[in-house]
A and B are shown apart, each in its own frame.
Chain A
Amino acid sequence: MSAATVHAWTGRPLGDLTIEALRDGRSGGDDFRISREQLDVQAAAAEAAGHPQLAENLRRAGELTRVPNERVFEIYAMLRPGRATWAELDRLADDLASQDMPRVAAFVREAADAYRARGIVRPSP
């Protein structure tokens, strides 16, 4: 992957992420996060190399780059067995879909159906 074409989550080119920039505060925290675009590039490379499931995972990851850390933890907690009702998971999926995260949304919806079929959703009140 050529460093010249890589941009961080903030849009900063990789070339800006130097020790000098860090030293005088011109770069910091979010400049060192990967972007959705870059994860899509990696997904395409994985797909081309015969790893379609990894590619799909990297595309889901790309969608999650916009999600704050705390929200990531919350979603994970909801996906654990018996934590959420089917309706809660369905709402979560709607919410994710509305935030331009179609793949993660579909994945959550699939989980909701599977959990309901196998009886590991939290019973509705």
Chain B
Amino acid sequence: MRSRRFERLAERPVNRETFIRPWPEVGLSAIGSPHDPRPGIAIRDGAVVEMDGVAAADFDLVERFIARHAIDVTVAERAMSTPSQEIARMIVDINVPRADVLAIFAGCTPAKIVEIVDAMNVLEMMMGLAKMRGRRTPANQAHVTNRKEHPVLLAADAAEAALRGFAEVETTAAVGRYAPFNALALLVGTQVGRPGVLTQCAVEEATNLKLAFKGLTSYSETLSVYATERAFVDGDDTPWSKAFLGAAYASRGVKTRFTSGAGAPALMGHAEGRSMLYLEARSLLVTRAAGSQGSQNGSISCIALPESLPDGVRAVLAENLIAMLLGLEVASGNDALASHSDIRKAAKLMLQFIPGTDFITSGYGAIPRPDNMFGGGNFDVSELDDWHVLQRDLRIDGGITPVDEARVLAARERAARAMQAVFARLGFPPITEAEILAATGAYGSEDMPDRDRVADIDAAQSLLAGPMTALDVVRALDAAGYADVAANVLSMQRQRVIGDYLQPSAIFDRDYRVLSALTDPNDYRGPGTGYRVEGERWAQLQDLPQAWDPRHYGDRLAASGAAGWLVETGPAQRGSGREVVVAIGPAFGEAITRTIGGLDHRAVLDAIVSGIRSEGVAARIVRIHHTSDCAFIGHAGAKLSGSGVAIGIQSKGTTVIHREDLVPLENLELFAMAPNLDLDVYRHIGRNAALHAQRKPVPPIPVRSDNTARLRLIVQTTLMHLRETRSVRRDRPPAELRPAAEPAGHAGGAADLARPGVATAGSVEER
């Protein structure tokens, strides 16, 4: 036999994922392989002669590089002899400055680092991120690519991403030969959207370097580093060649960060039986040793591998933390698809989102997922509003600013037109008006006309091979009348001469001021310190375009000309005989004329009255002025009813059948889910009340249940109730009501109410 519940669970998105038990011998363990070395160091004559149990003579390339360049021998003995738990506590202790923690980590070996962070749970690690990240102000990075490598769409998407607040925008090319155009599109597009956005084009290293030398890109995070010698050699690099590349970029004023992450060595088959976290600690020490200012880590494209293992997501958070503990900028992953389950994906994100990192994602898809040529796209353009709402809910700056549609359209069009001008002036294949129009309003590449791909590739290759640089782009923009964009692109070139953005964790604001670990250092020391979402930034993050002002909602609740269809004829009297009193709320049919379910109040009243009469019972309508509470409205009506039974109805439509001998908060039947009530139900309520009035047996009315009604409508409910409550007159007694003559044009409904047979104040007097 199978459990239907287990069958359903098996179909859940999370169960599309693979979960395995650890197999440490091949590197399939997240933290704590039995083959991970014990921490240890020996120093002789100012040199590391033994590290984590390996003698210098036996060091592989990676250990040799770390021992030579990463470990500060002047602090190593103190650091290594301090108990790991004590160091872990320093990380979360708000009374220990960040600099003191960094000083200790300057002397730690890979195994020591792992022992320290493994003493921490995820909450403590998150505290660590908040305190240890280099830059005070968190930021985010975007992916901008598309399947067609359409340069106009790339420029428009880059402009939108820049406008949305991404501090870095990266592209790549599915067909490498497009790379120069993709880089150009990002450069122009971002500088239309927001001055100072950094861009890169992730392609093969030699092309990448050429693009950077030409000024078409301003940063590079393609420099992969590995944890083991074999992985390095398979990657056709060494720690020295990668470090040399880093220096080469810097020699042209280009920012770089290295990239590594949990799972990559195991995937390459070179884990040597070590845990993912231990190996990543080695990669990060290589990164520091090479003099890179930062790291893109957090497992990146391998994320599903650590996630298949127990402790895997904690390991990924731990590697972000280790990078920070080594003083490195961190672009903290969350870029490759991390789960089929939205719950799991969001939970994983929170580990970086809440504390903040230098770049919360190392690539948020500012494009539709099918256009993401990085092959993943954990988040994409369709999830931007979810992100905005999370920022607003938690008062967290996740580096994405809500923007309105008109501004986005304007930026996209301008970027497309600027690209048209640049292409025309530099002699590249022309960009048509149709392409500009399509790119302005596009969702994705499916909305773009096809271009002559051969001609584009040829032109792109000539840009790469020829003498043209970003300065030619500046001249073209300037000559075509895009003076501001020209000035922005020129400013990016001037920044390369200054080099302030080569310092750790550097980004630019829109005025080209550098925010880095040096100019905007993280000073978190507990509550009231560090980065806080306040002032203008908080105003931006909370002001969602779809948020509305509740002050004016009430004005929409009263249909014009509706007031006055129920005429008060005097104070309500106690009735007698077979009648049901229908007690309506203070605003019913006046300040509010529809229920929350959108039913016209006249139609509702008519349905109730016709239901009562269908059982041969008279109906009498009174207005309750002294309360807006449904139970008390109903109970006040019951005390006036000849049968002792009344129906109480609030303006939002919530209804109760009450009897005078019950206490106010009891009832005969309650219909609390007003959005689910239709006229048939109201008629049924009238009929049931009439049966109650005759003391006949009454089967309760089945009511549709809708779990989302409260979620959807609680704000509207609150505002309607507020308006009803504002209509309350505490000192005014219940009033007898009589429908006024039918106004012209009103169809059906309350016509019945004016007919003889309906109990009104008059009928009471007749008795």
Chain A residues with a Cβ under 8 A of chain B: 1, 3, 6, 8-9, 14, 17, 19, 22-23, 28-29, 31-35, 38-39, 41-42, 45-46, 49-58, 60-65, 67, 69, 72-73, 75-76, 79-82, 104, 107-108, 110-111, 114-115, 117-118, 120
A57 touches B291 (CB 8 A): yes
- Chain B, range 472-498, C-beta contacts under 8 Å to A: 474-475, 478, 483, 486-487, 490, 493-494, 496-498
Task: Name 16 extra pairs, CB < 8 A, besides A28-B471, A76-B245, A110-B240.
Answer: A19-B474, A19-B486, A19-B487, A34-B253, A41-B499, A45-B518, A51-B504, A54-B292, A55-B291, A57-B250, A58-B499, A60-B243, A61-B247, A61-B251, A79-B244, A111-B240
B251 touches A42 (CB 8 A): no
Chain B residues with a Cβ under 8 A of chain A: 60-61, 64-65, 68-70, 72, 99, 102-103, 106, 205-206, 209-210, 213, 215, 229, 232-233, 236-238, 240-241, 243-253, 288-293, 327, 469, 471, 474-475, 478, 483, 486-487, 490, 493-494, 496-500, 502-504, 517-518
Residue of B102, B238, B251 near A39 (CB, 8 A) is: B251
Asked whether A58 and B291 contact (CB < 8 A) given A38-B497, A72-B209, the answer is yes
A38 touches B290 (CB 8 A): no
A1 touches B70 (CB 8 A): no
Cα distance, A42 to B147, chains bound together (Å): 40
| CB of A105 to closest CB in B, whole Å | 12
B244 touches A76 (CB 8 A): yes
- 20 A/B residue pairs, CB under 8 Å, sorted by A: A19-B483, A22-B478, A28-B471, A29-B471, A32-B497, A39-B502, A46-B503, A53-B70, A54-B504, A55-B291, A57-B243, A58-B247, A58-B250, A58-B499, A60-B250, A62-B251, A81-B236, A107-B240, A114-B240, A120-B238
Asked whether A53 and B290 contact (CB < 8 A) given A69-B213, A81-B238, A107-B244, the answer is yes
Cα distance, A39 to B233, chains bound together (Å): 31
B288: which A residues are within 8 A, CB to CB? 53
Residue of B106, B251, B471 near A67 (CB, 8 A) is: B251
B209 touches A73 (CB 8 A): yes
A34 touches B496 (CB 8 A): yes
Asked whether A29 and B251 contact (CB < 8 A) given A114-B61, A120-B233, the answer is no
A45 touches B503 (CB 8 A): yes
A49 touches B236 (CB 8 A): no
A51: which B residues are within 8 A, CB to CB? 293, 327, 503-504
Cα distance, A60 to B490, chains bound together (Å): 26
B504: which A residues are within 8 A, CB to CB? 46, 49, 51, 54
A72 touches B237 (CB 8 A): no
Q: Which residue of B lies closest to A103 (CB)?
A: B247
Cα distance, A41 to B503, chains bound together (Å): 11
B247: which A residues are within 8 A, CB to CB? 57-58, 60-61, 64, 104
B238: which A residues are within 8 A, CB to CB? 79-81, 111, 114-115, 120
A80: which B residues are within 8 A, CB to CB? 236-238, 241
Cα distance, A34 to B490, chains bound together (Å): 14
A32 touches B471 (CB 8 A): yes
Q: Which residue of A lies closest to B103 (CB)?
A: A50
Cα distance, A122 to B288, chains bound together (Å): 28
A35: which B residues are within 8 A, CB to CB? 497
| CB of A102 to closest CB in B, whole Å | 14
Cα distance, A45 to B232, chains bound together (Å): 31
A57: which B residues are within 8 A, CB to CB? 243, 246-247, 250, 290-292
| CB of A120 to closest CB in B, whole Å | 6
A23 touches B498 (CB 8 A): no
| CB of B132 to closest CB in A, whole Å | 13
A117: which B residues are within 8 A, CB to CB? 64
B69: which A residues are within 8 A, CB to CB? 53, 56
A58 touches B502 (CB 8 A): yes
Cα distance, A55 to B518, chains bound together (Å): 13
Cα distance, A115 to B61, chains bound together (Å): 8
Q: Which residue of B lies closest to A62 (CB)?
A: B251
Q: Which residue of A lies closest to B291 (CB)?
A: A57
A23 touches B292 (CB 8 A): no
B213: which A residues are within 8 A, CB to CB? 69
A3: which B residues are within 8 A, CB to CB? 498
Residue of A22, A75, A108, A111 near B474 (CB, 8 A) is: A22
Cα distance, A44 to B553, chains bound together (Å): 60
B240 touches A79 (CB 8 A): yes
The 3 tightest CB contacts between A and B, nearest first, are A57-B291, A61-B250, A111-B240
A62: which B residues are within 8 A, CB to CB? 251
| CB of B665 to closest CB in A, whole Å | 66
Asked whether A49 and B517 contact (CB < 8 A) given A111-B240, A114-B61, the answer is yes
Asked whether A33 and B253 contact (CB < 8 A) given A1-B500, A73-B206, the answer is yes
Cα distance, A117 to B475, chains bound together (Å): 52
| CB of A124 to closest CB in B, whole Å | 19
B503: which A residues are within 8 A, CB to CB? 42, 45-46, 49, 51, 54
B518 touches A110 (CB 8 A): no
Cα distance, A96 to B64, chains bound together (Å): 23
B246: which A residues are within 8 A, CB to CB? 57
Cα distance, A73 to B213, chains bound together (Å): 12
Residue of B99, B290, B469 near A29 (CB, 8 A) is: B469
Cα distance, A32 to B213, chains bound together (Å): 10
B291 touches A53 (CB 8 A): yes
A14: which B residues are within 8 A, CB to CB? 494, 497-498
Residue of B72, B290, B502 near A52 (CB, 8 A) is: B72
Output the residue of A35, A58, A120 with the most chain B CB within 10 A: A58
| CB of A34 to closest CB in B, whole Å | 4
| CB of B105 to closest CB in A, whole Å | 11
B291 touches A72 (CB 8 A): no
B497 touches A8 (CB 8 A): yes
Cα distance, A118 to B60, chains bound together (Å): 7
Cα distance, A60 to B245, chains bound together (Å): 11
Residue of B206, B241, B249, B252 near A79 (CB, 8 A) is: B241
B64 touches A114 (CB 8 A): yes
Cα distance, A58 to B243, chains bound together (Å): 11
A54 touches B252 (CB 8 A): no
